[in-house]
Chain A
Amino acid sequence: MSIWIAKDTRVIVQGITGGQGRFHTEQMLSYGTKVTGGVTPGKGGTECLSLPVFDTVREAKEKVGADASVIFVPPRFAASSIMEAVDAGIPLIVCITEGIPVQDMMTVKRYMEGKQSRLIGPNCPGLITPDGCKIGILPGSICKKGHVGVISRSGTLTYEAVDQLTKLGIGQSTAVGIGGDPIRGTGFTDVLKAFDEDPDTLAVVMIGEIGGSGEEEAAEWIKANMKKPVAAFIAGRTAPPGRRMGHAGAITSGNTGTAEGKIAALRSCGAVVAETPDRIGEALLMAAKRAGILEELRR
Chain B
Amino acid sequence: MNIHEYQASNLFREYGIPVPEGYLAETPEEAREASKMLGGRCVIKAQIHSGGRGKAGGVKLASDPDEAARLAEGLLGSILVTKQTGSKGKTVRKLFVTECADIEREFYFSITMDIRKECPVLIFSSDGGTEIEELAKTAPEKIGRMHIDPVFGLMDYQLRYMLDRLDLEKDIRDRITDIALRAYRLFREKDCSLVEINPLIADRNGNVTAVDAKINFDDNALFRHPDIRLLRDELEEEEREREAGRYDLNYIQLDGDIACMVNGAGLAMATMDIIKAFGGSPANFLDVGGSATKEKIEGAFRILLSDPNVKGIFVNIFGGIMKCDIIAGGIVDAAKSTSIEVPLVVRLTGTHEEEGKKILAGSGLAIISAEDLADGARKICRLVEEARK
Please list the residues of chain A having a beta carbon within 8 angstroms of any beta carbon in chain B.
Answer: 23-24, 27, 75-76, 99-107, 109-110, 125, 137-139, 141-142, 152-160, 163, 180, 182-183, 207, 209-210, 212-213, 233, 235-240, 242-243, 245-250, 254, 275-279
Query: B349 — which chain A residues lie within 8 A by C-beta?
Result: 163
Additional 8 contacts, C-beta under 8 A, given A157-B264, A236-B269, A245-B285: A101-B191, A102-B191, A141-B350, A155-B264, A183-B118, A212-B116, A238-B272, A246-B285
* Chain B contact residues: helix, strand, loop or mixed: mixed
Bound-complex Cα distance A23 to B264 (A): 19
**Contact in complex: A209, B276 (CB < 8 Å):** no
Chain B residue, CB-CB nearest to A96: B290
**Contact in complex: A238, B150 (CB < 8 Å):** no
Q: Which of B169-187 contact A (CB under 8 A)?
A: none
**Contact in complex: B282, A139 (CB < 8 Å):** no
**Contact in complex: B220, A101 (CB < 8 Å):** yes
**Contact in complex: A276, B274 (CB < 8 Å):** yes
Q: Which of B47-94 contact A (CB under 8 A)?
A: 84
Chain A residue, CB-CB nearest to B188: A103
Query: A107 — which chain B residues lie within 8 A by C-beta?
Result: 150-151
**Contact in complex: B273, A237 (CB < 8 Å):** yes
Most buried by A among B278, B319, B320, B372: B320
**Contact in complex: A106, B254 (CB < 8 Å):** no
Nearest-Cβ distance from residue B203 to partner chain A, whole angstroms: 32
Chain A residue, CB-CB nearest to B322: A139
Query: B250 — which chain A residues lie within 8 A by C-beta?
Result: 246
The 8 closest A-B pairs by CB, nearest first: A154-B266, A246-B265, A156-B264, A157-B266, A101-B221, A278-B374, A139-B320, A277-B270
Do A160 and B320 contact each other (CB < 8 Å), given the known contacts A76-B223, A110-B150, A207-B266?
no
Nearest-Cβ distance from residue A14 to partner chain B, whole angstroms: 19
Q: Which of B255-282 contact A (CB under 8 A)?
A: 262-278, 282
Nearest-Cβ distance from residue A278 to partner chain B, whole angstroms: 4
* Chain B interface residue bracket vs A: 35 or more
Taking a contact as CB atoms closer than 8 A, the residue among B116, B266, B318 that contacts A152 in the complex is B266
Most buried by B among A159, A246, A250: A246
Q: Which of B154-196 contact A (CB under 8 A)?
A: 188, 191, 193
**Contact in complex: B273, A180 (CB < 8 Å):** no
The answer to whether the Cβ of B252 comes within 8 Å of any Cβ in the partner chain is yes
Bound-complex Cα distance A125 to B374 (A): 24
Query: B303 — which chain A residues lie within 8 A by C-beta?
Result: none
**Contact in complex: A24, B265 (CB < 8 Å):** no
Do A245 and B267 contact each other (CB < 8 Å), given the known contacts A160-B318, A239-B272, A254-B133?
no
Bound-complex Cα distance A238 to B271 (A): 10
Query: B275 — which chain A residues lie within 8 A by C-beta?
Result: 238
